[in-house]
């Protein structure tokens, strides 16, 4: 191999030299870059939107027409009660995919590269969360659109519906940290999916999404009454129906803040220390 002489070496150094050191990206810039990356994934792999588009349709039609007549006497009456709960369930189930995609990036070695970059450390995770909020919004729009087509009529009007969806997105953001932690700890994406569903099932099915807790056994009713998802459903139902109390909404916001304050530092610590 030929060795470069002094002149060639000097010319090479001048060619690759950076006269001005580039500024380090701000936390906002880094986060938006990773948000854009999450959106590009949706653009280039549109099949991942199958769960967002099909799940709301399947859940809404199945539960409305399977249980509506038995529980409420007719499907239209039950739909007024069910749709806000189905909206909550649909979005919360989709939050699992945040941990799933992070674990996929880890298994491919992508996150090792991210940790070596001079960027705000939480940017890859926060950016992924914000990008996934687009998925939650799409699922919400599909659920509401189908509900309106079937006869759902929100007494709270457009403002109430928008407020309900916004509250749901805030809660979903906070709950996603649980699945991010699982994504950082589990060995495979399939393991993340399996454990996450075990976490979600008692939160969603053992709640007031499908029926009022008054008819439940005392032990189950006790869990439903302290289940944070039940309080979220009550707040979303109230906002859409125009009957929400200040306490219902504040309770959901406080739970979201507490979940984020506790789980986000844990997730970032695991992320920093992961080998």
What confidence score (pLDDT) does residue 168 get? 95
What confidence score (pLDDT) does residue 112 get? 80
What confidence score (pLDDT) does residue 5 get? 58
What confidence score (pLDDT) does residue 69 get? 81
Instruction: Give the list of residues 6+ apart from residue 144 with CB closer than 8 angstroms, or none.
Output: 83, 87, 152, 161, 165
What confidence score (pLDDT) does residue 9 get? 64
pTM of the prediction?
Answer: 0.85
Is residue 170 assigned to a domain? yes
Is residue 14 assigned to a domain? no
Is residue 10 assigned to a domain? no
What confidence score (pLDDT) does residue 30 get? 87
What confidence score (pLDDT) does residue 15 get? 65
Is residue 224 assigned to a domain? yes
**Using CA atoms, how far apart are residues 114 and 267, in angstroms rounded to an integer?**
16
Digit-by-digit pLDDT tens for the chain (275 residues) are: 555 455 556 776 666 666 666 677 788 888 888 888 888 877 777 766 777 778 888 888 888 888 888 887 888 889 999 999 999 999 999 899 888 888 888 888 888 888 778 888 888 888 988 988 888 898 899 999 999 999 999 999 999 999 999 999 999 999 999 999 999 999 898 899 999 999 999 999 889 998 888 888 888 899 999 999 999 999 999 999 999 889 889 999 999 999 999 999 999 899 888 76
Q: How many domains does the chain have?
A: 1
What confidence score (pLDDT) does residue 55 get? 82
Q: How far is CA 38 from CA 23, 57, 148, 169, in A?
A: 24, 24, 30, 17
Is residue 17 assigned to a domain? no
What confidence score (pLDDT) does residue 159 get? 94
Is residue 4 assigned to a domain? no
Residue for token pair 């459903």: 233
Q: Which domain holds residue 250?
A: 25-273
What confidence score (pLDDT) does residue 265 get? 93
Is residue 264 assigned to a domain? yes
What confidence score (pLDDT) does residue 16 get? 67
Is residue 16 assigned to a domain? no
**Using CA atoms, how far apart are residues 155 and 240, in angstroms rounded to an integer?**
6
């Amino acid at each position: 191999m030929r060795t470069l002489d002094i002149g060639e070496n000097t010319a090479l150094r001048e060619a690759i030299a950076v006269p001005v050191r580039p500024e380090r990206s701000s936390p906002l810039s880094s986060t938006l870059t990773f948000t854009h990356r999450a959106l590009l994934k949706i653009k280039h792999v549109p099949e991942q939107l199958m769960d967002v588009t099909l799940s709301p349709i399947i859940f809404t039609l199945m539960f409305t027409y399977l249980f509506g007549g038995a529980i409420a006497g007719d499907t239209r009456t039950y739909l007024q009660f069910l749709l806000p709960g189905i909206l909550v369930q649909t979005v919360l189930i989709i939050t699992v995919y945040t941990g799933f995609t992070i674990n996929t990036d880890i298994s491919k070695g992508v996150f090792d590269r991210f940790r070596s970059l001079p960027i705000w450390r939480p940017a890859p995770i926060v950016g992924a969360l914000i990008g996934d909020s687009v998925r939650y919004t799409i699922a919400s729009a599909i659920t509401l659109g189908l509900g309106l087509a079937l006869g759902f009529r929100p007494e709270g009007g457009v403002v109430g519906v928008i407020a309900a969806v916004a509250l749901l997105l805030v809660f979903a953001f906070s709950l996603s940290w649980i699945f991010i932690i699982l994504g950082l700890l589990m060995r495979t994406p399939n393991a993340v999916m399996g454990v996450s569903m075990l976490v979600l099932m008692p939160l969603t099915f053992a709640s007031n999404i499908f029926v009022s807790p008054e008819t439940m056994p005392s032990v189950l009713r006790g869990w439903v009454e302290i289940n944070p998802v039940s309080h979220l459903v009550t707040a979303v139902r109230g906002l859409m129906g125009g009957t929400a109390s200040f306490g219902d909404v504040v309770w959901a916001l406080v739970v979201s803040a507490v979940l984020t304050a506790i789980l986000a530092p844990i997730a970032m610590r695991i992320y920093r220390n992961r080998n």
